[in-house]
A = this chain, B = another copy of it.
Amino acid sequence: MLKGIPSILSPELMKIMLEMGHGDELVIADGNFPAASCAKRLVRSDGHGAVELLEAILPFFPIDTYVEKPISLMEVVPGDSTTPVIWDEYKQIIKKNEPAFEEFQMIERFDFYERAKGAYAIVATSEQALYANIIFKKGVVSR
């Protein structure tokens, strides 16, 4: 543990976020996501919900401003009547950190898996809400 770093950010996750550059992607996956079979680099965060992680990550992690929709969600599968309320929570946390944020990019389930396979890392949470997977494209740190 260090002063000023939330304890939910593991040493490995902090290292990975520091290594990432402009355009690299970070997936926060829910508890049912096939994270171990998709991930180039896997960070397990067992027992945690996705919201707690977003709140710890976003104050450090810049979002890409070179693309229109730098944050992506997995679309509800056709025929499934679920309405993911967690998306609103996500929106609030993101807006708090990136006020210019407007809209998510929606990605079909199997396209989402392919996208996740190309991501720099996947954080496997135990989030129990369905369709809680989310991808962040990293932006530029300017001083």
Spell out A's residues near B (CB within 8 Å): 1-24, 29, 31-37, 44-48, 52, 59-62, 66, 77, 113, 120, 126, 128, 130, 140-143
Let me know if B23 and A34 touch, CB within 8 A: yes
Given A2-B60, A46-B9, also A18-B14 (CB < 8 A)? yes
Contact residues in B for A21 (Cβ distance below 8 Å): 1, 29, 32-37
Selected contact of A141 from candidates B2, B11, B46, B66, CB within 8 Å:
B2
Selected contact of A1 from candidates B3, B11, B18, CB within 8 Å:
B18
14 contacts between A and B (CB under 8 A): A2-B141, A3-B62, A4-B59, A4-B60, A7-B126, A8-B46, A8-B47, A9-B46, A10-B18, A14-B18, A19-B35, A21-B35, A22-B33, A47-B48
Given A11-B18, A128-B143, also A66-B59 (CB < 8 A)? no
Let me know if A34 and B20 touch, CB within 8 A: yes
Let me know if A140 and B32 touch, CB within 8 A: yes
CA A77 – CA B23 in complex, angstroms? 14
